[in-house]
Amino acid sequence: MGTVLRPDKRAFPVEPPPDLVAPQVIAAHDWSAFQALPRMADHWDRPGWEGGRAFYWMLTFPKELELIEEALACQAAIPAEGFDLVPAEGLHITMCKVADVAQMDRGRLQGLVAVAAERVPAAFEVQVGPLTGSSGALRYSVAPWEPLVELHAVLAQANAPEDGSTASFRPHLGIAYNAQPRPTAPVVEWVAALRERPPVLVTVSRVELVELRRQDSVYRWEVIASLPLAEAGTGEPTPASAVPVR
């Protein structure tokens, strides 16, 4: 599988971190990249996306109350002007895009879910935090990357066996989208004050295939299939029949 991360100018950070396991190394790498960014861009300035719908694999956290409380606390400290907050039910880690809805029929969708179900790794934990940013959002660093990269590789290969790759994958969890061009330095200054907050541990026990849409200044989705990860220590794949595509 294409599990090697590589520099990619379309990704943020452009360079992957030197260590995919150590939380302190990953967090420092994310923060350094954000500090070096001269300006933030409008996240919503994406021609062609308005009104569009697409299938994505995502990790969602609707029952992770500690994570939700932490995100709300950081959001309360964000200046209201020019930032669109991610709602509590909308917290997620994007894994990979499958296709625009118009390009994918349900039969093919069911097939790729079945393939992914046979290969998913065991459930794992990730640390969420500290807060950092990117060119278009405020977001948490997450660590370790290693199990996330492994899961991404499975999903990418199921969708595109010939060229599925993790090369530009940069896992993160966003809490606010930047809605206007602005200099980064003032944002760095007040995000820095929130970086001492303790990280939150969350368990990743399933990955969801969703139909994603933009609704005003927020992303909404419908779950198409929910794919449980294998139980830790068993190595047993999840039966495809357990994840019917709706």
Tell me the per-residue pLDDT of 69-128, one tens digit each, with 9 for 90 and over.
999 999 999 987 899 999 999 999 999 999 999 999 888 999 999 999 999 999 999 999
pLDDT value, residue 242: 41
If one counts the domains in the chain, the total is 1
Q: What number of CA atoms fall less than 13 Å from residue 43's CA on the CB side?
A: 23
CATH number of residue 29's parent domain = 3.90.1140.10
- Could you give the CA distance from residue 121 to residue 142 in angstroms, rounded to a whole number? 18
Name the residue type at position 121: P
Residue 217, CA distances (Å) to 8, 73, 94, 158, 180 in order: 27, 20, 17, 31, 12
* DSSP collapsed to 3 states, the chain: CECCCCCCCCCCCCCCCCCCCCHHHHHHHHHHHHHCCCEECCCCCCCCCCCCEEEEEEEECCCCHHHHHHHHHHHHCCCCCCEEECCHHHCEEEEEEEEEHHHCCHHHHHHHHHHHHCCCCECEEEEEEEEEECCCEEEEEEECCHHHHHHHHHHHHHHCCCCCECCCCCCCEEEEEECCCEECHHHHHHHHCCCCCCCEEEEECEEEEEEEEEECCEEEEEEEEEEECECCCCCCCCCHHHCCCC
Would 119 be classed as within a structural domain? yes
- Could you give the CA distance from residue 123 to residue 229 in angstroms, rounded to a whole number? 5
Q: What number of CA atoms fall less than 13 Å from residue 137's CA on the CB side?
A: 19
Would 14 be classed as within a structural domain? no
Would 89 be classed as within a structural domain? yes
Domain extent, residue 109, equals 23-227
For the record, the structure tokens of 77 come out as 């400290």
Would 235 be classed as within a structural domain? no
pLDDT value, residue 245: 62
For the record, the structure tokens of 30 come out as 């994310």
What number is the average pLDDT over the span 45-64? 85
Would 4 be classed as within a structural domain? no
What number is the average pLDDT over the span 123-134? 98
Question: What is the pTM for the complete model shown?
Answer: 0.91
Would 1 be classed as within a structural domain? no
pLDDT value, residue 243: 47
- Could you give the CA distance from residue 204 to residue 63 in angstroms, rounded to a whole number? 12
Phi-psi region at 63: left, alpha or beta (left = phi > 0; alpha = psi -120 to 50):
alpha
8 A C-beta contact, residue 71 and residue 87: no
Would 102 be classed as within a structural domain? yes
What number is the average pLDDT over the span 177-198? 96
- Could you give the CA distance from residue 53 to residue 195 in angstroms, rounded to a whole number? 34
Would 242 be classed as within a structural domain? no
State the average pLDDT for the chain.
90
Q: What number of CA atoms fall less than 13 Å from residue 110's CA on the CB side?
A: 8
Which pLDDT band holds residue 3 (cuts at 50, 70, 90)? low
